[in-house]
Amino acid sequence: MNKYIFQGIIFITMGFLGISCDSLHKFKGEHHSLAEELRKISVDSINYKFDARDIYKGNSLILAYTSDSIHNFYLPERTSEITSFPCLSCHTEPLEDLKNKQENGKQAHWDIKINHAENNVMGCITCHDQNSMDGLTAINKGKITYNESFKLCLQCHSTQYNDWLGGAHGKSLGGWVEPRIMNNCVNCHDPHSPAFEPRWPARLNTIKLKEQTSN
């Protein structure tokens, strides 16, 4: 009789071995993190079937040149977005002369409130080139175009700039395939008031709320 019982036990054990054999590979070897694994199986220069420029919908693109980026990437063209560009169509005289003329009347650009750093640190001409209004000016008086305005921002916001170059900051526009198409800083941040304003969320989950209150 004991023989039968023994055979029965073997039978059941074999059954469960079925599962364990299958899951054995989970226990083999030492610990590997997924990230470590990824580094090992990475593939350099992948040919993607799709091109980000075909996916991107929006303004024409310009190629951004940076000294420290591994790859060049694209930004949306900016100047066509600015309502009264080129600025020189109005700014024919030096700024000082314009200011004197308009002493009592309503000023141009009256709607622009600067909420960017302290007033005594930054003013209009910290960024705008007062000698040539169609461009921007760097701290070292170097010229920066509106299309590459990120070069102006990176002077102070180097951390954000590095994150942006790498991909941790900012918004990708053309999908995940190459080439990279990124929003310029000013596409998300108003340069005169760069912080995001609080607002209401886009939706309320009424059903979940009902569940919560009824229970």
Partner 1 sequence: MKHPNKSINKECSPDSCGCQNDKPDGFEQKLNKPINRRGMFQQLTASLLTGAGLVNSSCSVTATDDKREKKQLEWEEYFKGNYRLMSDNEKQDTVKRLERLYELNNGNHASISSEQPSENVLFGYAFNISKCQGYMDCVNACVQENNQDRNSQMQYIRIHEHQNGQINFDLADDDFYHEVPAAGHFYIGTQCFHCENPPCVEVCPVKATWKEKDGIVVIDYDWCIGCRYCMAACPYDGRRFNWATPEIPTEEINKDQHYLGNRLRKKGVMEKCTFCIQRSRKGNNPACVDACPTGARIFGNLLDPNSEIRWVLDNKKVFRLKEDLGTEPKFWYFMD
Partner 2 sequence: MSIIIQFVKDGIKSASSGNKTYHLWMGSLTLLMILGAYAYSVQLKEGLTVTGMSDNVSWGLYISNFTFLVGVAAAAVMLVLPTYILKDIDFSKAVLIGEGLAVSALVMCLAFVTVDLGNPAKAWHLIPFIGLFNWPNSMLSWDVLVLNGYLFINLTIPFYILYTKYIGKKPNEKLYFPGVLISVFWAIGIHLVTAFLYAGLPARPFWNSALLGPRFLASAFAAGPALIILALEVIRKYSEYKIETKTIRKISLVVTVAAQINLIMLFSELFKEFYAPTHHSSSAIYLFFGIGDKTALMPWIYTSLALNIVATIILTVHLLRNDLRWMNLALIMLFVAIWIDKGMGLIIPGFIPGSYGDIVEYFPSWVEVFVTLGIWAMGFFIFSALIKIGIPIEIGKLRFQKKD
Check binding of 11 to partner 2 (CB under 8 A).
yes
The option from partner 1, partner 2, none interacting with 200 (CB < 5 to 8 A, set by class) reads partner 1
Q: Other CB atoms closer than 10 Å to residue 32's CB: what's the count? A: 9
Q: How far is the CB of 49 from partner 2 (least distance, A)?
A: 30
Residue 117 three-state SS: coil
Residues 6+ apart with CB under 8 A from 135: 129, 143, 144, 145, 146
- Of 45, 83, 213, 215, the one binding partner 2 (CB under 8 A) is 215
For residues 126 and 183, which CB has a smaller minimum distance to partner 1 in the complex?
183
- Of 76, 170, 185, 186, the one binding partner 1 (CB under 8 A) is 170
User: How are beta strands 136-137 and 73-76 bridged, if at all?
Assistant: unpaired
Q: Which residues in the 190-209 window bind partner 1 by CB under 8 A? A: 196, 198-209
- Of 11, 27, 120, 121, the one binding partner 1 (CB under 8 A) is 27
Span near partner 2 by CB under 8 A; candidates 9-17, 85-93, 127-135, 164-172: 9-17
Are 143 and 151 in contact, with CB atoms under 8 Å apart?
Answer: no
For residues 12 and 207, which CB has a smaller minimum distance to partner 1 in the complex?
207
Q: How far is the CB of 89 from partner 1 (least distance, A)?
A: 32
Are 175 and 143 in contact, with CB atoms under 8 Å apart?
Answer: no
Residue 51 three-state SS: coil
User: Is 19 buried (19+), middle (13-18) or exposed (0-12) by CB count in 10 A?
Assistant: exposed
Type and span of the H or E element at 101: helix 95-101
φ and ψ at residue 190, rounded to 5 degrees: -70, 120
Q: Which residues in the 12-41 window bind partner 2 by CB under 8 A? A: 12, 15, 18-19, 22
- Of 4, 110, 196, 200, the one binding partner 2 (CB under 8 A) is 4
Tokens representing 212 are: 């919560």
Span near partner 2 by CB under 8 A; candidates 6-14, 38-46, 129-137, 175-183: 6-14
Residues that bind partner 2 (CB under 8 A): 1, 4-5, 8-9, 11-12, 15, 18-19, 22, 211, 215
